[in-house]
A and B are shown apart, each in its own frame.
Chain A
Amino acid sequence: MKKIVKRAARLLLAVLVCSFLAACGSSADVNHSDAGGTEGTQTAPGKGATKIGVLLVGTRDDYGYNQALYNGCIQSGEDLGVEIMIKESVPEDSSSQAVMEQMISAGCTIIYATSYGHREYAELVAQEHPEVAFFCSNETGQAMDNISALVTYGWDSAYVNGVCAGLMTKTNEIGFIASFQIPVVMHSINAFALGVQSVNPDATVHVVFTGSWDDVGSQTDAVNAMASQNIDCIAQYQDYTKTICEMCEAAGIYVVGYHIDGSDIAPNTFITGTIDICTKQTEVFRETIEGNFPAGIVSGGYPEGMTGNAPCGACVPDDVKAVVEDTVEMMKEGTFEVFAGPIYKQDGTIAYEEGYTPTTEEILGMDFLVQGVVGLDN
């Protein structure tokens, strides 16, 4: 009898734990019925959509990538008058497939799977649902009629950040806390450094790679170490930006944000930062709803309206603000090329000759750091 009670108790515990885990993992009901949708019709994917499903890999208030997307999508929903269904913390595995299926059965005909790892699962779901329009964040993958990639080129806004930082620094020592030595990060650091040099040739950019997108311990160590090296302005390429912003605020170091406006957490030291703005995204959603789904890749920087900068913080004087705003205007016109030659590598060898402007593909494969940057490119 005792044994039975014990077994029953264990079973109950197991069931409780399982149901709890399930509740943590997913709050939407699993529903495999194929109701809804416009099966069989040959209309453009996502035409007439009234619900947009958005998958985030993290949480909405992470002061980073996910928060930027969350805010952007909510804004798009308001602008377009459509319902936005957001699911946070969707892992980059087959469970994302289930989430997309759930969203489709709930009536979503546009799906925005925002994390890189979501793409391969989006492709699987897209095959089953040709009437649904899918948006991803990376262009690498199978080309399909109902998948489009929204790709932001970050070097324009990074250059603007650099201009602001170059004018704000008093010690001429600027820090950059980066994640990995991969092209997308390298060209952002380089664009930032070129922006700094354009207004302050004496300034040096010191880059530290933490080997993580969000390890707050390494971020803390990096800010401490930079503070001890007379660095008075810190930029970043991290997914999670709150710790760096807060630490800089506490230490009185100017900080450049990433993904979102950090002026509320660093009111006295936030100068500007790259923000992922949603104007283009709203536009793309609108086109899709109207029946003009842009299959393939939608990409660009400032001229295409794919990127932007946070307004200058309260600590930025008016003359600096004016220069920054002029740079933004110049970027919007699209005539200025950040990486127009001559561009020199760290060791002084030439990367792009005078008069040469690298192609987008070349920039996207950048594996060196420019002259004036102190740091290791491998």
Chain B
Amino acid sequence: MMNLIENFLLNTIRSGTPIMFALIGDLIGQRAGHISLSVEGAMLTGCCVGFAACYYTDNLLLAVLLAALAGAFVGFLQIHFNISCGADMFALALAINYFCSAVTNYFGASLISKSISGFGRIAIPLLSEIPLIGDAIFNQDILTYISYLLPIVVGFILFKTKIGTAIRTAGEVHQVAVAYGYNVRLLKYGAVMTAGILAAVGGVQLSCAYTMTWTADMAGGRGFIASALVILCSWKPGRAYMAAYLFGAAQSLQILFQLLAIPIPTNIVTMAPYVVTLIALAFISMNKNPSMPEELKKIGRPLEIQN
């Protein structure tokens, strides 16, 4: 039983961490009024670049930096073609994702058979000794520790600092931000590129810490899920813990239920986070006083039927 709970926690955190990075990233972007479905491509690129850097240099910091750079580039494509060229942000994101998939398949082909030592687990003294939860939570890789702090740090920046207020204003009524003398264009570029960077770092965690593997299209929709989970968080970073680990828990339970022969069909368990997101989406959309950034409401505005 002890083993089971420990394993449940461990798998929940490990599968939730890549989601956490992409989720917080896209949350920043959405707060600035821009939905980046391309976090999927950014994560995939991060997986590939991080793995390549780990393999060729064995320098973990370099792996994260290069992946972040690649992620920033993906974010740049997303925001630049939207703001400066007027492309539809969703169509654009799909094109970017296919682009990332093709590029990483091409350059990553020779990496598939390679092995890396990657990010080792670092036990935090004392805390990792706590029975039941210690080993799962406090004996993790460095990127996972960073992901623990991410929602708090980003929440602080968004809500307690001037720059955060500016980003949020850009996503609510951008004219106000302009009136206050902010460069809205720059703010949006920054926010969406940060989304790309964080998603790519999540990708590094996925390929170099969690699975120690590179395979084609390994992000497997995790970026899309993260982007959808932003809604579940109602754009509040603190709720990212709930959303990311809800997804991680479903992943983890899906396997444990099977191992314990608990007769709940696997598809039902894996469906759970999506069902919760759908319900949350419906509630948030019906809410009279929603937390949805105003600029987002202009995108995909529901059809008003008059009869």
A interface, CB within 8 angstroms of B: 10, 17, 20-21, 23-25, 58-59, 61-63, 88-89, 206-212, 214-222, 224-229, 240, 242-243, 246-247, 265, 374-376, 378
Contacts and interface: CB of A to CB of B under 8 A. Distances in A.
Contacts of A88: 109
A228 B7 contact: yes
Interface stretch (B34-42, B236-244, B252-260): B252-260
A208 B115 CA distance: 25
Contact of A221 (B113, B222, B251, B266): B251
Task: Name the residue among B11, B252, B263 with the largest chain A CB count within 10 angstroms.
Answer: B11
Contact of A217 (B102, B112, B220, B256): B220
A187 to B, nearest CB: 19
A217 B214 CA distance: 11
Contacts of B256: 225
Contacts of B11: 221, 224-225
Given A17-B99, A63-B112, A217 B105 contact: no
Q: Which 10 A/B pairs are nearest by Cβ-Cβ distance?
A: A228-B7, A61-B113, A24-B106, A216-B211, A228-B3, A243-B213, A24-B102, A221-B11, A216-B213, A208-B258
Contacts of B206: 217
B70 to A, nearest CB: 15
Nearest to A20: B103
Contacts of B261: 374-376
A228 B102 contact: no
B267 interface: yes
Contacts of A25: 102
A259 to B, nearest CB: 13
B112 A59 contact: yes
Contact of A220 (B115, B211, B266): B211
A220 B259 contact: no
Interface string B124-139: 0000000000000000
14 contacts: A21-B102, A25-B102, A58-B216, A208-B255, A208-B259, A209-B266, A211-B266, A216-B213, A217-B211, A217-B220, A224-B7, A224-B14, A247-B212, A376-B266
Contacts of B215: 62, 214, 216, 240, 243
Interface in B101-155: 102-103, 105-106, 109-110, 112-113, 115
B85 interface: yes
B14 A221 contact: yes
A218 B255 contact: yes
A24 to B, nearest CB: 4
Contacts of A21: 99, 102
A126 B110 CA distance: 33
B231 interface: no
A378 B267 CA distance: 9
Given A211-B254, A221-B15, A246-B212, 20 more contacts: A21-B102, A23-B106, A24-B102, A59-B216, A62-B112, A62-B113, A89-B109, A206-B258, A209-B258, A215-B218, A220-B14, A221-B252, A225-B7, A225-B255, A228-B6, A229-B4, A229-B259, A243-B211, A374-B261, A376-B258
A232 to B, nearest CB: 14
Nearest to A225: B255
Interface residues of B, number: 44
Given A59-B109, A206-B259, A10 B85 contact: yes
B267 A211 contact: yes
Nearest to A89: B105
B210 interface: yes
Contacts of B257: 376
A212 B102 contact: no
A23 to B, nearest CB: 8
Task: Name the residue among B14, B99, B112 with the largest chain A CB count within 10 angstroms.
Answer: B112
Nearest to A21: B102
Contacts of B113: 61-63, 242
A215 B266 CA distance: 15
A213 B267 CA distance: 15
Task: Name the residue among A24, A226, A374 with the largest chain B CB count within 10 angstroms.
Answer: A24
Task: Name the residue among B103, B218, B222 with the largest chain A CB count within 10 angstroms.
Answer: B218
Contacts of A24: 102-103, 105-106
B126 to A, nearest CB: 23
A212 B252 CA distance: 15
Contacts of B252: 221, 225
A240 B211 CA distance: 13
B120 to A, nearest CB: 11
A152 B75 CA distance: 46
A92 to B, nearest CB: 14
